[in-house]
Structure formats: structure tokens, C-alpha cells
Amino acid sequence: MATGWTCHELYFWHDTGHYASVFPAGLTVEPGVHAENPQTKRRLRNLIEVSGLLDRLTPIRPRPATEDELARFHTREHIARIKANSADYKGGDENQTPYGHGSYEIACLAAGGTIATVEAVLKGEVANAYALVRPPGHHAIADKGMGFCLFGNVAVAVMHARAVHGVGRVATVDWDVHHGNGTQAAFYGERDVLTISLHQDLLFPPDSGHRSERGEGAGLGANLNVPLPAGSGVGAYVAAFERVVLPALRKFRPELIVVPSGFDASGADPLGRMMMTSDGYRQLTRMLMDAADELCGGRLVLSHEGGYSETHVPYCGLAVMETLTGHRTGIADPWQDPMMAWAGHELLPHQEAAIQAAAELLAEIP
Ligand code: ZN
């Protein structure tokens, strides 16, 4: 069955202004481009077309999320503030998350695009799907944006699936290099949504993503953080999936799996310090597809988050899309061989210790 693909030119028009990477420019910091600029995602979209894979994908039409849909997660004050600032030509800046004129409408289209993608999978129109949306969403919390995110795209889409489509149990598997704090916060007291985040230990947000954050109240045990040491490569990621993520999914038995999909664990990423390769993402995707086949009729949705290497993100995304469709385009990732020649891709003892510590939390999953 077909693989869905959600994208829109407006996603690339969300304007993050003239930062210098993640730093506001000034008299001592020369203005440049913000780390979260359109290029990595645009080049991913372009490679999907040039590879010929676009012709094999089923386009899903994004639509804006409504204010009521956003308000399942976000406060009305937060929505109104982003809307008002975005209507102003100066735009706004939410905790070093700059946005421009019209970014509100584009952020609504990102959240709504993720909703539409989840709906296409739930209705059986496609087997699985990828939403190449922007701005990203997994850091946004109920009353503020942060980490380049304005609205929680995946959180809003999961809440929509449960409220409107009667979906019961949902699991999210966040492989972005940063902690998925917003998705965690959205479901922290919720027993029927298992939120899993693999991330570089203590990268961003500060002091966030500890293993000890396990959910609260009825949701205790249904939040699982797998912080990995900086420098982790394909061996650590595959082991974390085999020993923690897949057993967690089998125990939880979700009806739908949603992946906040960042490619900033790439070995070429300027903001992360991990060593994932495009073939590594291929392996993780295959494992999630097998788990989805076993547990929930193959229902797997990915929604784009971070990833800041202009030259590597497109190939990581292509590897994921090739795996979802089951079609190899024959296009080689120029980073693959040089990156695999780096030492340290095998599972190292200190990485194994971190994975083992996370595996000890499996018993608490409801
Ligand atoms: Zn990230």
C-alpha cells in the first residue's frame, strides 16, 4: 500500500530572521542565518523529487489546524500572542524562537498538516506517511514556544486522533537529538499515550530529559526518556531501539505510532554531537515499521522536527522515505562512507550502561 507525503511551499516561508545560528546578532556577533532556516528541509524535499521517489508517494494535502484544535494542548493566551505578533510586520521572538510575518498561519499549517497525515493513515488511505512540516513542534509547551517550535505539531495531532477518531493508545518515539520536552509535557499525566524520547544527554532544553522523568499520576510509567552520551553512533541507537524502544512498544501495544523525526543526531549536524548516518535512520525506520506491523496494522506516521546539516539531512530523509515505500532509488549518500570510517560506531560500554539504565524502566510501562 502507498506511503503518504505531506509538504507545502509555505513551510519554507516561515522566516526566522538574521540570527547567527542560535545566537541573536549584535555588535559583537555578526548577523548570519538562524540555525532553523528553510534550507535543510527544502533540500530534502528537492532530493525526494530528484530521486524520483516523489512520483511513488501519495500527496496528502495539509490544512491549517483550527484554534480549537491547537487549544487541546495550548492555552488561548499562547495562541493569541503568536497570532498577534505574526500579524505584525516585525513578527515575534518566543524564547529565542524568532518568527516572522505570517508565521502563525504557517505554524497552523504545520500542526494541521500533521493532523491530516495522521488522518490519512487512520482512514487507511495510505499505509504510513511522512509530514515534512515547518516550523517544528516537539519543544513547544502549553503556554509558550521554545527551541524553534511554536505549536506542538505531534501533540496536537495525537490529541486530535484520540478526540475525533476514537484512537485509544498512541506511542510517540522521538529520535530528534534534543529532548522532546513538549510532547512529554502534553501527555505527562496520561496513561494511554506512551511518550519515548531518545536524545543526547543534557543538550536541550537545559536540565531536561532525565530518566527520572517518568510521568505523573495516572501517567506514571508512560513517559520514557533514553538519554544517550554525546558521541553515540549507529551501534548505540540500534541497541537502544532493540533493548528499550521495541520492548516498550510491545508492552504498551499502541494503536498508532508517531515519530517526531529530527535528523540532528546526524554526524554532520552543527547543533548535536552524535554520529548517526542515513543508513542508521534506515535501520531505525525498518524496526519501527516491523513493530507497527506487529502491533497496530502498520500505522506509522513521522512528522519532521529538527536537523541542521544542509548536506546530510536530505539523505537521512531519503533513507527514511525509501524504507517506508520499500523502494531503493540507487542514490548514494555522499556522507555514508566517510562517516562510517569514523571510529566509535560500535556500542561502547558507557553507552551500553545508559541504555541498560533506561531498560530498567520498562517494568513500569502501563
Ligand atoms: Zn532537535
Sheet strands (E) in the chain: 3-6, 58-60, 92-93, 98-99, 128-131, 170-174, 193-200, 223-228, 256-261, 300-304
> Is residue 139 annotated as part of the catalytic site, yes or no?
yes
Amino acid at 298: G
Distance CA(289)–CA(299), nearest Å, equals 8
Cβ atoms of 316 and 281 within 8 Å: the answer is yes
Residue 264 Cα to ligand 1 midpoint, Å, equals 6
Distance CA(99)–CA(168), nearest Å, equals 35
Please, is 56 exposed, middle or buried when counting C-beta atoms within 10 Å of its C-beta (0-12, 13-18, 19+)? middle
Give residue 64's pLDDT: 98
Residue 41 Cα to ligand 1 midpoint, Å, equals 13
Residue 1 Cα to ligand 1 midpoint, Å, equals 31
Cβ atoms of 243 and 355 within 8 Å: the answer is yes
Distance CA(20)–CA(69), nearest Å, equals 34
CATH code, domain carrying 318: 3.40.800.20
Distance CA(213)–CA(136), nearest Å, equals 23
Residue 38 Cα to ligand 1 midpoint, Å, equals 15
Number of domains making up the chain? 1
> DSSP 3-state assignment of 261?
strand
Give residue 77's pLDDT: 98
Give residue 96's pLDDT: 85
What domain range is 55 assigned to?
3-364
Amino acid at 276: M
Give residue 1's pLDDT: 82
Q: Provide the β-strand partners of residue 141.
A: 144
Amino acid at 199: H
Per residue of the chain (366 residues), what is the pLDDT tens digit? Answer: 899 999 999 999 999 998 999 999 999 999 999 999 999 999 999 999 999 999 999 999 999 999 999 999 999 999 999 999 999 989 999 988 999 999 999 999 999 999 999 999 999 999 999 999 999 999 999 999 999 999 999 999 999 999 999 999 999 999 999 999 999 999 999 999 999 999 999 999 999 999 999 999 999 999 999 999 999 999 999 999 999 999 999 999 999 999 999 999 999 999 999 999 999 999 999 999 999 999 999 999 999 999 999 999 999 999 999 999 999 999 999 999 999 999 999 999 999 999 999 999 999 999
Residue 166 Cα to ligand 1 midpoint, Å, equals 30
Which of 34, 139, 178, 345 is an active site residue?
A: 139
Residue 143 Cα to ligand 1 midpoint, Å, equals 20
Distance CA(239)–CA(235), nearest Å, equals 6
* φ, ψ for residue 261, nearest 5 deg: -105, 95
Order the strands of the 128-131 sheet from edge to edge: 58-60, 3-6, 128-131, 300-304, 256-261, 170-174, 193-200, 223-228
29 Cβ partners below 8 Å, 6+ apart?
20, 23
Distance CA(209)–CA(350), nearest Å, equals 18
